[in-house]
Amino acid sequence: MKGAWRVSDIRSAEAALMATLPPGTLMKRAAAGLTKRVVSLLTDRFGGVYGRRVLLLVGAGDNGGDTLLAGAALARRGAAVSALRLADRVHEEGWALLLAAGGRSVAAVPRTVDVVLDGIVGIGAKGGLRANAAAAVKSVRQARAGDRARPAVVAVDVPSGVSVDTGAVEGDAVRADVTVTFGAYKPALLVGPAAVHAGIVELVDIGLRPYLTGTAALRVPERVDVAAWWPRTGPQDDKYRRGVVGLATGSADYPGAAVLGVAGALAGPTGYVRYAGSAAQAIRDRFPTVVCAERVGDAGRVQAWVCGSGLGTDGRAQAELRAVLAAPVPVCLDADALNLLVDGSLAGQLRDRRAPTVVTPHDREFARLAGADPGPDRVESALQLAARMNAVVLLKGDRTVVATPGGFAYANPTGSAALATAGTGDVLAGLLGSLLAAGLAAELAAMAAAYVHGLAGRRAAADGPPNALHVAEALRETLSNVIIKS
């Protein structure tokens, strides 16, 4: 699993590591990693390094220093390197090396450039881009709009203009194709709108890891993690032992929500799916293996409930949610269940639950639950709500965040714009419920479901604009690739 560290932790680790090394060693390691990545980008996209036009955007700090050292190395390999200074003072040694290698200073963004290196600011940034930097970034963007291939943009350590610890982007910020980051991931590379600005993120090992002693601000699972968490069927299992998931979703008015949730649950690891609600006929017609009842109280034993989507908010819906909350099993609450939780007595019942609860709000539902929109720091917002509700919070977004009441946060790397369509959340909730019923810990169930659901969204989108049923249908093949074959 990847971990992302806050700037303060990275600074402490760097200080401890630097104390063991000759001055300048870390910057040389960083610049060497950056140079290597830019060489491969120039070679892959533009056929080589010699004669290719590289522009350095250079700010005042060591981030500019890394960039100048890499620029000097590229110039020595024959690239035509120019540097635009965006501060009165820049890293002196780096500047001298660049000029000695044949690099030149420019006063504005040249008209034609193959690759831009963004060395305006790194982890020492305070506030957004200043006016001269913002103007240079705008020129680069305009050049790219006229020629979709060039310039390719490589951010050094982080894209300038983003908030490194939170992933917020409040003003203008660099949009990179690739970010080459040093020593450790930073939250902005993995979560929030900044993650989109970072593009493909590549970590250069500069020897920092053993010195990062604090807790990661954020964890980002990889395929092997999800595969390891996924419950497997053993030779001793029967349909009950694999777990029974119950869905209290949908209604006569909204049977589709129930259908989509059940489709998600059927793709999960449980051996048995029960449905309780007034969309039972639609479920029977479509899924003959699902056992249906009209009410939660009549459904029989389940090991986890999914409740909410399409349920409505009338008296019957309230009674069903109350029954679900009273069950001593893990519960996943979505959509209308979240709207009903704004009611004080149900919220109290939720806080008193002993078994785990997962809530899966999008931003508007989050605002109703928390009393305010998620702030620019989505991880912190989700953590606060998790602590307040005593529930795991899965905050949906391009990089879905999972936060636990105990203070741990995860970000999902597989988000896809394809999932921004009606009903995909129902599929997610069903899959998540199945993982809960199979016995996976609530935060891992939430993370694993988001991860696989994101991949299924991408897979479904490969055949054209998908709807939620396409996403549900893509789950089986996605699971076969990700989980079973790994």
Q: How far is the CB of 129 from ligand NAX (least distance, A)?
A: 6
Toward ligand NAX, which CB reaches closer, 26 or 401?
26
Q: Annotation-wise, does 390 bind a ligand? A: no
Could you tell me which stretch among 123-131, 303-311, 364-372, 447-455 binds ligand NAX (CB under 6 A)? Answer: 123-131
Span near ligand NAX by CB under 6 A; candidates 127-135, 254-262, 288-296, 305-313: 127-135
Q: Could you tell me which of 5, 9, 74, 7 has the C-alpha nearest to residue 35?
A: 74
The answer to the question of whether 122 is labelled as a binding residue is: yes
| Complex with ligand NAX: residue 170 or 285, whichever CB lies closer | 170
Q: Which residue, 155, 154, 163, 126, is CA-closest to 6?
A: 163
Q: How far is the CB of 156 from ligand NAX (least distance, A)?
A: 6
- Is 127 or 371 the residue whose CB approaches ligand NAX more closely? 127
Pair 117, 71: CB distance under 8 Å: yes
Instruction: Give the span between the Cα atoms of 144 and 204, in whole angstroms.
Output: 27
61 binds ligand NAX (CB under 6 A): yes
399 is in an annotated binding site: yes
Among 33, 35, 63, 442, interactor with ligand NAX by CB under 6 A: 63
Of 37-45, 129-137, 260-268, 361-369, the segment contacting ligand NAX by CB under 6 A is 129-137
Q: Residue 179 pairs with which residues in a beta bridge?
A: 155, 201
Closer Cβ to ligand NAX, 38 or 123, answer by number: 123
Neighbours of 356 (CB within 10 A): 21
Among 126-134, 236-244, 309-317, 374-382, which window interacts with ligand NAX (CB under 6 A)?
126-134
Q: With CA atoms as reference, report the closest residue to 286 among 316, 261, 308, 306.
A: 261
365 binds ligand NAX (CB under 6 A): no
Q: Is 124 in the site for ligand NAX (CB under 6 A)?
A: yes
Site for ligand NAX in 168-207 (CB under 6 A): 182, 206
In the bound state with ligand NAX, the residue whose beta carbon lies nearer, of 78 and 127, is: 127
Under the binding rule (CB under 6 A), the answer on residue 122 touching ligand NAX is yes
Binding mask 20-59 for ligand NAX (x = CB under 6 A): ------xx--x----------------------------x
Contact status: 347 vs ligand NAX (CB under 6 A): no
- Looking at this protein, which amino acid is placed at residue 472? A
Q: Which amino acid is at 226?
A: V
Q: CB–CB of 235/243 below 8 Å?
A: no
Q: Which is nearer to ligand NAX, 62 or 365 (CB)?
A: 62
Nearer to ligand NAX, 71 or 415 (CB): 71
Closer residue to ligand NAX in complex, CB, 67/278: 67
Among 3, 16, 18, 76, binds ligand NAX (CB under 6 A): 18
In the bound complex, what is the minimum distance in angstroms from residue 182's beta carbon to ligand NAX?
Answer: 4
Of the candidates 55, 116, 117, 125, which one interacts with ligand NAX according to CB under 6 A? 125
Other CB atoms within 10 Å distance of the CB of residue 380: 18
Minimum CB separation of residue 28 from ligand NAX in Å reads 8
Q: Which of 287, 232, 249, 264 is nearest to 438 (CA)?
A: 232
Q: Determine if residue 118 is labeled as part of a ligand binding site.
A: yes
Where is the binding site, in residues? 62-66, 118, 122-128, 157, 160, 257, 310, 362, 396-400, 425-426
Where is the binding site for (6S)-NADPHX, in residues? 62-66, 122-128, 157, 257, 310, 362, 426
Where is the binding site for K(+), in residues? 63, 118, 160
Point out which residues bind ligand NAX (CB under 6 A): 14, 18, 26-27, 30, 59-64, 66, 121-130, 133, 156-157, 182, 206
